[in-house]
Chains A and B, each alone.
Chain A
Amino acid sequence: MNARIHYPQAPITEAIIDIRVRLPESMRPDDLDELHALVRDQYPGKENRALAQGRCEVGAHVSASASQQPIGFLFKTSDEKQVFQARTDGFTFSRLAPYESWKPFRDEARRLWELYRQVGKPEEVLRLAVRYINRIDIPLPFDDLNQYLRTFPEVSPDLPQALSGLFMQLTIPQPDIDCVTLLNEALIEPAHPDIASIILDIDLFRQNSVPQDDAELWKFFEILHARKNAVFEACVTDKARELFK
């Protein structure tokens, strides 16, 4: 797998750093509101985050119930391009397009994580993930997806080759770094009729032997980021790379 080069028109529509934790039992979702005072200048927007749960029982009697449980807050910049979620189950930092580069993204995530850690006092870090969602706009017409992608569903040549819908998910173990890549690929409504838009969503995570120490944790994010780049490069062709230049 090749190392990543910097693309002037990278197809990244969203980059996410996600850390799942176990907070002390005494920690209530409202306690995380304290974070807003610390980030209000950069993240003035605030929304509640809730976990919606539905239950349906079918038997002699049919019953259904739904409930919403508050789990924390979402803080966003005034342009809504950067979003920081502080929840009782973890921390998520998202950067929506335009994405600049890894360094400022990681540095901001780390700064916010340190605030989250200070307020939430997590007892254990359970899972680390980086997720990059790319939208690759391929000019029409083209003969075969394999001109642009190296990971895609293969359709028998005995079947019509035109696809009007596509959703593919691959779970690929990465045993050398004790991680798993969850790779989603989908065809999405294009912005213009003369292109086909393919989502290439790379979610790379570790949930075993997760580093607990901050220095080790962020060192491991470097490994996740490098591997995510390698996965991306492995999934696209040179013809696709031309689109990002």
Chain B
Amino acid sequence: MPAIAPLPPKPPIVHVRPIADALGDEGLFISKAAEKAAEHWEDRAQWILTHSRESDELDYESVPLDDAGTVRVRYKFAGKLEPMPYEWDD
């Protein structure tokens, strides 16, 4: 089974965007997929990783919430419903 190996040089351990530009269809596909993964990473994991590295003691820090406002809602009981269809592709 693979183990997690720390990279010798500087943190963070992220190379999701290949640097050597590819020009063919396959390379462009990889670039797009990596870009998508990078966005996912930056939105979520990187904040946690970089902040946890700032301190030697691993401490819990919550991920800051996006700006939120108040929305007034009114619920109305509409009777018993059938379960919504579940798409596996989602």
Q: What's the interface size class on A, roughly?
A: 35 or more
Taking a contact as CB atoms under 8 Å apart, the answer to whether A182 and B22 are in contact is: no
**Interface flag for B20 (CB, 8 Å):** yes
Interface 9-mer from A11-19, A22-30, A101-109, A110-118 = A11-19
Q: B13, B30, B89 — which one has the most chain A CB atoms within 10 A of its CB? A: B30
**Count, A-B residue pairs, CB within 8 A:** 89
Inside 8 A of A167's CB, which chain B residues have their CB?
Answer: 33-34, 36-37
A97, A178, A203: which contacts B20 (Cβ < 8 A)?
A203
Whether A127 touches B30, Cβ cut-off 8 Å, given contacts A164-B89, A175-B8, A207-B9, is: no
Taking a contact as CB atoms under 8 Å apart, the answer to whether B26 and A188 are in contact is: yes
Taking a contact as CB atoms under 8 Å apart, the answer to whether B22 and A94 are in contact is: yes
Closest to A59 in B: B67
Inside 8 A of A127's CB, which chain B residues have their CB?
Answer: 19
Inside 8 A of A199's CB, which chain B residues have their CB?
Answer: 26, 29-30
Besides A131-B20, A133-B27, A133-B30, 11 new A-B residue pairs in contact (Cβ under 8 A), listed by A number: A13-B25, A14-B26, A16-B20, A94-B21, A96-B23, A129-B20, A133-B24, A171-B7, A184-B30, A201-B22, A201-B27
What are 28 sample pairs from A and B whose C-beta atoms fall under 8 A apart?
A13-B26, A14-B27, A18-B21, A58-B67, A94-B23, A94-B24, A96-B23, A97-B24, A131-B18, A133-B22, A133-B24, A133-B30, A135-B26, A167-B33, A169-B37, A170-B2, A171-B15, A184-B18, A184-B33, A186-B29, A188-B26, A199-B26, A199-B30, A201-B18, A201-B22, A201-B26, A201-B30, A205-B19
